[in-house]
Amino acid sequence: MEKARFFDVNRHSPNGMMSLEMNVDAAAAGQLPQQFLNLGWEQPMHHDAQFESALSSLVSSPSSNPQAANESTVMHELIGRLGSICNSGEATPTSRYHSAHTSYYSTPLNSPPKLNLSTMDIQLQGTGGLPIPGNQMAMGQFAPFAADPGFAERAARFSCFGERSYVNLENQFALPETGKLSRVSSSRSLKAVGRPQMGVHDNGKDAPLSDPERVDMEMRSKPDGRASGSTTLDESEFANSQEASSASDRTTAGVAKNNATKRKSAPKGKAKQVALLSSVTNPPKPTTEEYSDAKRSKLADINGVDQDSAVKPKTEQTGNAGEKQGKENNAKPPEPPKDYIHVRARRGQATDSHSLAERVRREKISERMKQLQDLVPGCNKLTGKAVMLDEIINYVQSLQRQVEFLSMKLATLNPQLDFNVENPTPKDMNQGHDPSSFLQQFHPLDQATTTFSYTQQPLNSIITNGVDAQGSFNTVDSSAHQIPCLQIHPLDGLAYSTSQVGNLRGNELHYVVQMGFVQSQLGAAFHSQSLPDEENCKSDKFSAQT
Amino acid sequence: MESKSLSRDCNNPNPDPKMAFHFLRALLHIQQSAATTSFTGRRRRIKRAAYASMAYSSGARRAWSRALIHTLRRRRQRQQRARTAVALPRRIRVARPPRREVAAADQAQVLRKLVPGGTGMEYCMLLEETADYIRCLATQVQLMRNVVDSVTNS
């Protein structure tokens, strides 16, 4: 039954899909890959029963342990089972396919372990991540699966789900795949996974990413990774990653987006989260559940990120998984692939689109609140939105009051400044010192930017003029006007302002220096800066001059 | 803005050069022309200069800075019009309905009033803009403190 289905799926894969795989096999002779494929399909068949048994056992055990505390033990269990299964299946695939695979499947198999693990991570992202200590072990165990050409095929098929361009393919594959998907989700749902560590990635809005790249990103970002509960999941992920990598190149930004969406769907803190199936594109027709179901659901999880999120109700236990999911899948109308953010409904939560959107919104809001928490001092201990908001409001009000108070202080100090400026005697000294010191400050900048060299001459002339002018602003203005280079660009504004500043008291200059005022960036900043300020009429004067 | 690449550490942000430039230049300008204006007038202008430098440092990237620039411009235009306007004929003023007291318990509303341009935003955007506004406010306060310190330490 399943075997037949598998074979049918393989045979009937659309040209696009097969072309993907054939590309992988392109190097090989035409017939050889086919043979390998045939053989490869047989391999998983043998494993199916084992996987099913493992899955059922896994399902039963994790279901009783929804807490995160037990997750590690569960995962260890799963990994052990996987190891046993893998070991049984290792010999055949490796012996048969390694030689061929090295030549034909070199590209997708380059980093299968890594991809495998990362796909697992991705898969588990939807469900929440479980820190799995046995990750490496799992990876090693799954290596033989990577070599399986059948997986490559399946990966090709499944990877197309994740890509919008392959909508048609998905349609075609919806039939056979849905059962697998439901199965996978059910098995996956049983694993309580911790919070996905996608904190690295912000909510990117980038194009969807191919699985392997996303997987790679996942790998890099989450070294501890998560072990999927079932080999089937790994296989599917593996296949996905392999095929996807061979199929297309996507940017890591897409990974970020996928990660972000996955993160959205699996917010933190949920000990047990079940990634619900979001049907990929079309209503999967009811098919017999099994290993293929598990695979499909898992792939759908990966690929669903790129698709419209029509969240399916939670998956059930293996016993009813296939049938129910088949029904649910049927009920879901086909949705055209759009650029939506895909969210997964979590276990025990409503799944209609409104609540989903609300959940996304709530997560966004909580994220922003966290950012605000970092900004406002002393908010780390506070919990609860209302208290936080109060604190934020208080902080903003206090900052505004501070601005007002400081402006008042500056207003009182202004006459002081005026006094110093108008006082000629100390001003001479100041001017003698300040411009030079100011110029000295500019020297390193001069090296950094050509703009400052540009300003050197005007400053010099301004300084000499300023010394003569005894600190009267009018004189400075006139002297500034005399310098032609000062007139046009924002850079000139810089020169002008620096000259103005040069006429201030020395402390002001020093302060300015301390502020990092004199930086190489300033030249660039002023080049790019437009000066629409209302307060400064000097620029108006200059524009009038030009 | 590359000049705004400075560290985002919350409590003591480094004043970014663009903001500093603008503010200092505005201060100088006020100094120049403020010989005659009163203390309050000068204070108001300094305050506006502070907000203007804040808004210009963020430019048009942020909704709050855009709104702030808009309000400042409008206020300035009104001032200029008031200065140059001839005495207008008296208009019969329509009594406005007394403004309803907005429940202060609605924190989002209070926040909207505080953050420039907040009234038109939804909650999510409001929080984001608040975060950026707080950052900018903090840098502006730091900048002003530095100026005051440098002046008082002369």
C-alpha–C-alpha distance, residues A57 and A85, integer Å: 13
Using alpha carbons, select from A331, A335, A326, A329 the residue that is nearest to residue A281: A335
Q: Give the sign of the dihedral formed by CA A397, CA A400, CA A402, CA A405.
A: negative
Q: Tell me which chain B residues have a C-beta less than 8 angstroms from the C-beta of A418.
A: 31, 35
Q: Tell me which chain B residues have a C-beta less than 8 angstroms from the C-beta of A515.
A: 15, 17, 20, 143, 146
- Reported ipTM: the value is 0.82
- Cα-based torsion angle of the residue sequence B28, B29, B34, B37 in order, rounded to the nearest 10 degrees: -130
Provide the chain B residues 66-85 that lie in CB contact (below 8 A) with chain A: 69, 72-73, 76
DSSP state string for A173-229:
HHHHHHHHHHHHHHHHHTS-BB---GGGS---------HHHHHHHHHHH-SS----S
Q: Tell me which chain B residues have a C-beta less than 8 angstroms from the C-beta of A512.
A: 20, 24
Q: With a cut of 60, say whether residue A267 has pLDDT above it.
A: no
Q: With a cut of 80, say whether residue A207 has pLDDT above it.
A: no
- Cβ atoms of A175 and A287 within 8 Å: the answer is yes
Provide the chain B residues 82-111 that lie in CB contact (below 8 A) with chain A: 107-108, 110-111
Q: At what angle do helices A71-104 and A231-247 cross, to 10 degrees?
A: 40
pLDDT average, residue stretch A499-520: 46
CA distances (Å), origin B3, targets A453, A513, B143:
20, 15, 15
C-alpha–C-alpha distance, residues A401 and B141, integer Å: 10
* Highest-pLDDT range among A32-46, A81-95, A252-266, A393-407: A393-407
**How far is the first Cα of chain B from the last one, in angstroms, to the nearest whole number?**
33
With H, G, I as helix, E, B as strand and everything else as coil, classify residue B99.
Answer: coil
Residue A73 has a pLDDT of 62
Q: With a cut of 50, say whether residue A535 has pLDDT above it.
A: no
C-alpha–C-alpha distance, residues A518 and A22, integer Å: 61
Q: Tell me which chain A residues have a C-beta less than 8 angstroms from the C-beta of B76.
A: 534
C-alpha–C-alpha distance, residues A95 and A90, integer Å: 8
Structure tokens, A69: 């505390």
Smallest Cβ–Cβ distance between A511 and the set B46, B133, B147 belongs to: B147
Using alpha carbons, select from A343, A366, A359, A397 the residue that is nearest to residue B124: A366
Structure tokens, A384: 């609860």
Residues forming beta bridges with residue A278, ordered by sequence position: A311
Per-chain mean pLDDT for chain A: 50
pLDDT category of residue A204 using cuts at 50, 70 and 90: very low
C-alpha–C-alpha distance, residues A260 and A264, integer Å: 6
Query: A396, B152: Cβ pair inside 8 Å?
Result: no
Where would I find the beta strands (DSSP E) of A238-350?
Answer: none
Residue B70 has a pLDDT of 84
Run of H or E residues at B129:
helix B123-152
Residue B32 has a pLDDT of 75
Residue type, A361: R
C-alpha–C-alpha distance, residues B70 and B61, integer Å: 14
Q: With a cut of 50, say whether residue A217 has pLDDT above it.
A: no
- Cα-based torsion angle of the residue sequence A60, A62, A66, A69 in order, rounded to the nearest 10 degrees: 150
- Cβ atoms of A14 and A169 within 8 Å: the answer is yes
Residue B25 has a pLDDT of 82
pLDDT category of residue A16 using cuts at 50, 70 and 90: very low
With H, G, I as helix, E, B as strand and everything else as coil, classify residue A27.
Answer: coil
Smallest Cβ–Cβ distance between B47 and the set A361, A404, A528 belongs to: A404
Task: Read off the pTM.
Answer: 0.38
Query: B107, A407: Cβ pair inside 8 Å?
Result: no
Within 13 Å, how many C-alpha atoms sit on residue A227's CB side? 28
C-alpha–C-alpha distance, residues A154 and A427, integer Å: 82
Residue type, A34: Q
Question: How far does A485 lie from chain B, in Å, by closest CA?
Answer: 19
- Cβ atoms of A233 and A120 within 8 Å: the answer is yes
Query: A365, B124: Cβ pair inside 8 Å?
Result: yes
C-alpha–C-alpha distance, residues A348 and B28, integer Å: 63
- For A319-356, the pLDDT digits (tens) are 444 444 444 444 444 445 555 666 666 677 777 888 88
- Token look-up 């279901």 returns A63
Residues forming beta bridges with residue A3, ordered by sequence position: none
What proportion of chain A, given as a percentage, has pLDDT over 70?
A: 12
Q: With a cut of 80, say whether residue B54 has pLDDT above it.
A: yes
Q: Tell me which chain B residues have a C-beta less than 8 angstroms from the C-beta of A524.
A: 2-3
- Cβ atoms of A217 and A201 within 8 Å: the answer is yes
Structure tokens, A112: 């299968």
Query: B149, A511: Cβ pair inside 8 Å?
Result: yes
pLDDT average, residue stretch A138-155: 50
Q: Where are the domains of chain B?
A: 14-85+112-148
Query: B148, A532: Cβ pair inside 8 Å?
Result: no
Q: Tell me which chain A residues have a C-beta less than 8 angstroms from the C-beta of B129.
A: none
With H, G, I as helix, E, B as strand and everything else as coil, classify residue A287.
Answer: coil
Residue B28 has a pLDDT of 79
Residue B78 has a pLDDT of 86
Q: With a cut of 70, say whether residue B50 has pLDDT above it.
A: yes
C-alpha–C-alpha distance, residues A255 and A261, integer Å: 10
Smallest Cβ–Cβ distance between B127 and the set A372, A406, A533 belongs to: A372
pLDDT average, residue stretch B44-57: 83
Question: Where does residue A125 rank: exposed (0-12), middle (13-18), buried (19+ CB within 10 A)?
Answer: buried
pLDDT average, residue stretch B17-40: 76
Residue type, B103: A
Smallest Cβ–Cβ distance between B31 and the set A395, A417, A537 belongs to: A417
pLDDT average, residue stretch A454-463: 40
Query: B134, A372: Cβ pair inside 8 Å?
Result: yes
Smallest Cβ–Cβ distance between A517 and the set B20, B29, B39 belongs to: B20
Query: B114, A372: Cβ pair inside 8 Å?
Result: no
Buried/exposed A389-428: b ≥16 CB within 10 Å, e otherwise? bebbbebbeebbebbeebbbbbbebbeebeebbeeeeebe
- Cβ atoms of A139 and A113 within 8 Å: the answer is yes
Run of H or E residues at A24:
helix A15-24
Q: Tell me which chain B residues have a C-beta less than 8 angstroms from the C-beta of A406.
A: 50, 141, 144-145, 148
Residue A224 has a pLDDT of 44
Question: How far does A511 lie from chain B, in Å, by closest CA?
Answer: 6
Smallest Cβ–Cβ distance between B29 and the set A409, A412, A535 belongs to: A535
Among B129, B130, B143, B152, the residue to mutate for chain A (most A Cβ within 10 A): B130
C-alpha–C-alpha distance, residues A210 and A227, integer Å: 20
Residue A345 has a pLDDT of 66
Q: Tell me which chain A residues have a C-beta less than 8 angstroms from the C-beta of B17.
A: 515-517, 519, 521-522, 525
Least confident of A207-211, B99-103, B132-136: A207-211
Backbone angles phi, psi at A258, to 5 degrees: -60, -45
pLDDT category of residue A382 using cuts at 50, 70 and 90: low
Query: B3, A521: Cβ pair inside 8 Å?
Result: yes
C-alpha–C-alpha distance, residues B69 and A218, integer Å: 42
pLDDT average, residue stretch A383-390: 80
Residue A212 has a pLDDT of 45
Smallest Cβ–Cβ distance between B141 and the set A386, A399, A506 belongs to: A399
Provide the chain B residues 110-149 that lie in CB contact (below 8 A) with chain A: 110-111, 114-115, 123-124, 127-128, 130-131, 133-135, 137-138, 140-141, 143-149
What proportion of chain A, given as a percentage, has pLDDT over 90?
A: 1
B63 close to A (CB below 8 A): no
C-alpha–C-alpha distance, residues B29 and A144, integer Å: 75
Residues forming beta bridges with residue A249, ordered by sequence position: none
Rg for chain B, CA atoms, rounded? 18
pLDDT average, residue stretch A45-59: 51
pLDDT category of residue A75 using cuts at 50, 70 and 90: low
Residue A338 has a pLDDT of 54
C-alpha–C-alpha distance, residues A352 and A163, integer Å: 24
Structure tokens, A294: 């598990």
Least confident of A77-91, A494-508, B64-78: A494-508
| Residue of chain B whose alpha carbon sits nearest to that of A403 | B141
pLDDT average, residue stretch A446-454: 39
CA distances (Å), origin A512, targets A502, B20, B147:
10, 8, 8
Least confident of A47-51, A383-387, A521-525: A521-525
Higher-confidence position of A369 and A491:
A369
Run of H or E residues at A441:
helix A424-448
Structure tokens, A295: 């695979």
Q: Count other Cβ atoms within 10 Å, centred on residue A514.
A: 12
Higher-confidence position of B65 and A290:
B65
C-alpha–C-alpha distance, residues B133 and B4, integer Å: 14
Q: How many CB pairs under 8 A join A and B?
A: 197
Q: Tell me which chain A residues have a C-beta less than 8 angstroms from the C-beta of B10.
A: 374-377
Residue B152 has a pLDDT of 81
Total length of chain B = 154
Using alpha carbons, select from A542, A448, A438 the residue that is nearest to residue A490: A542
Question: How far does B28 lie from chain A, in Å, by closest CA?
Answer: 8
Higher-confidence position of B81 and A119:
B81
C-alpha–C-alpha distance, residues A531 and A516, integer Å: 20
Q: Tell me which chain B residues have a C-beta less than 8 angstroms from the C-beta of A514.
A: 146, 150
Q: Tell me which chain B residues have a C-beta less than 8 angstroms from the C-beta of A490.
A: none
pLDDT average, residue stretch A31-38: 48
Q: Tell me which chain A residues have a C-beta less than 8 angstroms from the C-beta of B114.
A: 393, 396-397, 400
pLDDT category of residue A118 using cuts at 50, 70 and 90: very low
Query: A411, B76: Cβ pair inside 8 Å?
Result: no
- Cβ atoms of A33 and A22 within 8 Å: the answer is yes
pLDDT average, residue stretch B80-99: 69
Residue A415 has a pLDDT of 64
DSSP state string for B4-56:
G-----SSSPPPPHHHHHHHHHHHHHHHHHTTSS-HHHHHHHHHHHHHHHHHH
C-alpha–C-alpha distance, residues A286 and A118, integer Å: 29
Q: With a cut of 70, say whether residue A51 has pLDDT above it.
A: no
Query: B28, A386: Cβ pair inside 8 Å?
Result: no
